[in-house]
């Protein structure tokens, strides 16, 4: 009896140990999870998605059947989170999180779907009534095969970015646009009321975004007051002067910037100030 008890006890210990080991066991995901946070202007767009591999299988018309709602990757559907309102096509999309589905088609026309329900595993419970937005894009054929399903932000500017979906030899993308000008201009105006005024940054923003060039000139001049060691300020001021049509002023400022950069052995701004001089002359 005692021997049988010990045997059962030992078996119990082995069973418990096996369960504990199983609970602690970590194995790699067949389709890895990726999280991307992309700054567009002054706010972020976050994307979380799963990345299956082809493994010598057919992607479209196979793993992703044509003309059917596809989870767009593996496991959970991709989730896009916008910190602020964005524009996709002609449609405004409020801040928040959205699920992403697609419908690939053999002719290359894809339907992109933003779902108001981002918490879904696969497309098994997809409901069209939960669509926030759907639109069509034309997929592009690729010369080189993409083995691992890849989504990426491309062509990023302060005004927007393209979100691409690539797998096998196909790639579809759509543009996400932001309009932050009112918010940024209001922030600049508010900052100019403070003790430490952001003359240089404000001048840069107005210049790059084709806003009031006279304001940019005024702020660039303020930023350059007493400047004897910062060739980058001279460079930006010279660009603004040139854009405003003041070639003589641009030449004078860029020459000063070139002298500063040469004295500091700052080859980057030697080159940039020289470029402005060549443009002005």
E strand segments, 104-189: 109-115, 131-138, 140-157, 160-177
Of 170, 161, 191, 135, which is closest to residue 58 (Cα–Cα)? 170
- Mapped to the 3 state alphabet, what secondary structure does 48-80 carry? EEEECECCCCCCECCCECCCCCECCCCCECCEE
Percent of the chain's residues with pLDDT above 70: 91
How far is the CA of 268 from the CAs of 168, 205, 211, 231, 261, in angstroms?
Answer: 41, 21, 27, 10, 8
**Residue 113 pLDDT > 80, yes or no?**
yes
Distance separating alpha carbons of residues 117 and 137, to the nearest angstrom: 22
Domain 181-280 has what CATH class? mainly alpha
Q: Where are the chain's structural domains?
A: 32-177, 181-280
Give the pLDDT confidence of 27-73 residue by residue, as tens digits.
677 677 999 999 998 899 999 999 999 999 999 999 999 999 999 99
Of 237, 225, 231, 233, which is closest to residue 261 (Cα–Cα)? 231
Give the pLDDT confidence of 139-189 residue by residue, as tens digits.
999 999 999 999 999 999 988 999 999 999 999 999 999 988 888 899 999
What is the length of the chain?
A: 281
Confidence (pLDDT) at 168: 96
């Amino acid at each position: 009896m005692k021997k049988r008890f010990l045997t059962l006890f030992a078996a119990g210990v082995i069973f418990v140990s096996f369960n504990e080991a199983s609970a602690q066991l970590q194995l790699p995901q067949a389709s890895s999870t990726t999280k991307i946070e992309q700054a567009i202007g002054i706010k972020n767009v976050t994307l979380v998605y799963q990345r299956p591999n082809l493994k010598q299988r057919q992607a479209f018309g196979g793993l992703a059947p044509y003309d059917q709602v596809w989870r767009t990757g593996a496991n959970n559907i991709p989730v896009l989170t916008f910190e602020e309102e964005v524009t996709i096509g002609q449609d405004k999309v409020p801040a928040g999180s959205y699920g992403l589905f697609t419908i690939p088609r053999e002719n290359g026309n894809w339907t992109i779907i933003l779902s108001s329900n981002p918490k879904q595993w696969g497309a098994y419970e997809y409901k069209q009534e939960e669509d926030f937005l759907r639109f069509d894009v034309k997929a592009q054929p690729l010369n080189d095969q993409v083995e691992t399903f890849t989504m990426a932000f491309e062509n990023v500017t302060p005004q927007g970015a393209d979100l691409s979906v690539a797998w096998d030899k196909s790639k579809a993308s759509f543009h996400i646009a932001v309009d932050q000008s009112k918010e940024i201009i209001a922030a600049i105006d508010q900052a100019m009321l403070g003790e430490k005024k952001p003359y240089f940054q404000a001048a840069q923003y107005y210049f790059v975004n084709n806003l009031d060039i006279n304001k940019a000139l005024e702020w660039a001049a303020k930023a350059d007051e007493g400047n004897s060691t910062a060739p980058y300020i001279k460079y930006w001021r010279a660009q603004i002067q040139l854009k405003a049509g003041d070639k003589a002023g641009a030449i004078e400022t860029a020459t000063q910037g070139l002298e500063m950069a040469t004295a500091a052995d700052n080859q980057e701004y030697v080159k940039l100030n020289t470029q402005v001089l060549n443009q002005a002359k």
